[in-house]
Structure 1
């Protein structure tokens, strides 16, 4: 039986590139992630399955890496059509139990972060409306078909004739897992490792969901964890990767450190608001790329704060970052 994982790039309404799902053949046909729920994505998936003599109804399990709709939006429809078990972490489960509550909570946390960061109100509203549109590509997963694994990792999953260790790899998402095949030295990285540096998405904390997580420091910890693994093949959530893992993570880590130093320099020059600093760092970026830069700018400031190089003060306008040196 084949141990191959077949990459199926699916169209997305929200990601900046096609989203990868991976098909494992054999006695237990498996999808790792499943894309969004809208006609073009479903039709693309059906055509790809047909190339291997499969239909949606043949799927036996669907495994989800993290709670972003471009990776899990179609899971409910696929599960209802196939009867497949949907495996996910306990961190993803709340989105199944109450999608509306989780989405509303994320919007609330983001709105507060945008306001505190000095983002103009018209821009805030633009991105909040984009988040609300996630509902259009979501399908409710039948709870009775869900099987949970630990978000913290350590458990194993079986697919593609291989045993995969569950790894906790936060940074891009606070509830993100990757899967590692030690024997084959393969890593399904999801969005923990991408061809270009992943965005440290602003999300709610697991322990205090009304507060935002410090995503970029978590991402660097994940880079350090993954760089120690012997990996011959990286299977990312978007695009393809040929660069050796340790080399790629070193390059991306250095890029983050460079941008963090630039951020500190702008603070020392008298730019104290997140939005203002983002305008300096990403002056030539148009929407939506500026928004990604804005999100990373907040991450650079988080790194500086964690390292004791800046302090975040609160005033009537919101967060104000001041150099400690």
Structure 2
């Protein structure tokens, strides 16, 4: 990739702009699809630096922000959608995303209150100490400061073609996010994958609440593995990711990701040989150097692997005083 902000045509009709973010993951990639309906894929976070970089990048390609007719979100995380409302206001563009992105993007108050309750209950039953539960509000408040309320005009479904771009097909690829979609152009085997597949890091299968409050929480790592397997079955020459370099060896990379899952589940089994543990205790052992700083991410990772082991009937679970304890 070129330096941040320098646009580049990565393949026919697709321009890449690298947008700075304040997050540990580093810059985010947004893409401009040329055609009769100029389309922006993701926007970057709500920061002055990101806005300047996006605006200048679009101008360097030869367009103005006002030329954008359509915005597609790969998922609802703020590094990908934080500038959505500013771009909408500047362009009048039509916005598209998966339906599960809607309550996040529109900051539905009832849903966000439920969202907070869900994580409080999840962290409590995972054995997170009371003094650490404040991380829920801190993480949410910091994250939402890089976005603002916007709207989704139409929702995208798995298998449909992208409006105004009949050569592009929508794939629903959940796991990293419940709203995660990827776009696939079969004629030249190109995929725009958001954070579904990233070359230099394994995407976190982040725990999210079910939008149907009566349902069980999604098994995000199981979803993620299934979506990876679906992509491994496709002929893909290049994957344009939400972060980092393009991927040209997707089957090899997917196999590595799937194998790494089992390495981590084996590590969990070893940690439980000396007795039962909570998800929080397992997180502190699996990620001793980062769990305090990245608790939402590391706990999600641990719970995902616990889910895999439970599916295989390798764990027993007991609840005591509202906390879940896992043992072999």
Tell me the distance in 1 between the aligned counterparts of 2:108 and 2:166.
Answer: 32
Residue 53 of structure 2: aligned partner: 44
Tell me the distance in 1 between the aligned counterparts of 2:296 and 2:119.
Answer: 13
- Normalising by structure 2, we get a TM-score of 0.89
Residue 148 of structure 2: aligned partner: 139
Q: Secondary structure at the match of 2:145?
A: helix
Conservation of the 8 A alpha-carbon contact between 2:238 and 2:248: no
Q: Secondary structure at the match of 1:51?
A: helix
Q: Are 1:200 and 2:205 counterparts?
A: yes
Tell me the distance in 2 between the aligned counterparts of 1:115 and 1:107.
Answer: 12
1:16 to 21, 25, 31: 25
Deviates more, 1:31-40 or 1:119-128: 119-128
Conservation of the 8 A alpha-carbon contact between 2:291 and 2:298: no
Q: Are 1:180 and 2:184 counterparts?
A: yes
Residue 264 of structure 1: aligned partner: 269
Q: Are 1:149 and 2:156 counterparts?
A: yes
Q: Are 1:126 and 2:135 counterparts?
A: yes
Tell me the distance in 2 between the aligned counterparts of 1:255 and 1:128.
Answer: 31
Structure 1 residues 17 and 288, CA gap change in structure 2 (3 angstroms):
farther
Tell me the distance in 1 between the aligned counterparts of 2:283 and 2:105.
Answer: 35
Report the count of equivalent residues: 318
Tell me the distance in 2 between the aligned counterparts of 1:253 and 1:236.
Answer: 18
Tell me the distance in 1 between the aligned counterparts of 2:63 and 2:111.
Answer: 34
Q: Are 1:278 and 2:287 counterparts?
A: no
1:190 to 188, 191, 194: 194
Q: Secondary structure at the match of 1:178?
A: strand
Residue 60 of structure 1: aligned partner: 69
Q: CA deviation at 1:58?
A: 1.3
Q: Are 1:294 and 2:303 counterparts?
A: no
Residue 110 of structure 2: aligned partner: 101
2:217 to 205, 212, 218: 212
Tell me the distance in 2 between the aligned counterparts of 1:24 and 1:288.
Answer: 37
In structure 1, the gaps of 5 or more residues are: none
Q: Are 1:252 and 2:257 counterparts?
A: yes
2:126 to 106, 113, 117: 117
**Deviation above 4 Å: which 4+ runs of structure 1?**
none
Residue 85 of structure 2: aligned partner: 76
Residue 247 of structure 2: aligned partner: 242
- Normalising by structure 1, we get a TM-score of 0.90
Q: Secondary structure at the match of 2:29?
A: strand
1:168 to 172, 189, 192: 172
Structure 1 residues 101 and 235, CA gap change in structure 2 (3 angstroms):
farther
Tell me the distance in 2 between the aligned counterparts of 1:9 and 1:311.
Answer: 46
Tell me the distance in 2 between the aligned counterparts of 1:283 and 1:71.
Answer: 29
Q: CA deviation at 1:42?
A: 0.6
Tell me the distance in 1 between the aligned counterparts of 2:247 and 2:229.
Answer: 19
Structure 1 residues 210 and 40, CA gap change in structure 2 (3 angstroms):
farther
Q: Secondary structure at the match of 2:222?
A: helix
Q: Secondary structure at the match of 1:174?
A: coil
Q: CA deviation at 1:184?
A: 1.3
Q: CA deviation at 1:305?
A: 0.8
In structure 2, the gaps of 5 or more residues are: 1-8
Tell me the distance in 2 between the aligned counterparts of 1:71 and 1:31.
Answer: 11
Q: Secondary structure at the match of 1:9?
A: strand
* Cα RMSD (Å): 2.2
Q: Secondary structure at the match of 2:160?
A: strand
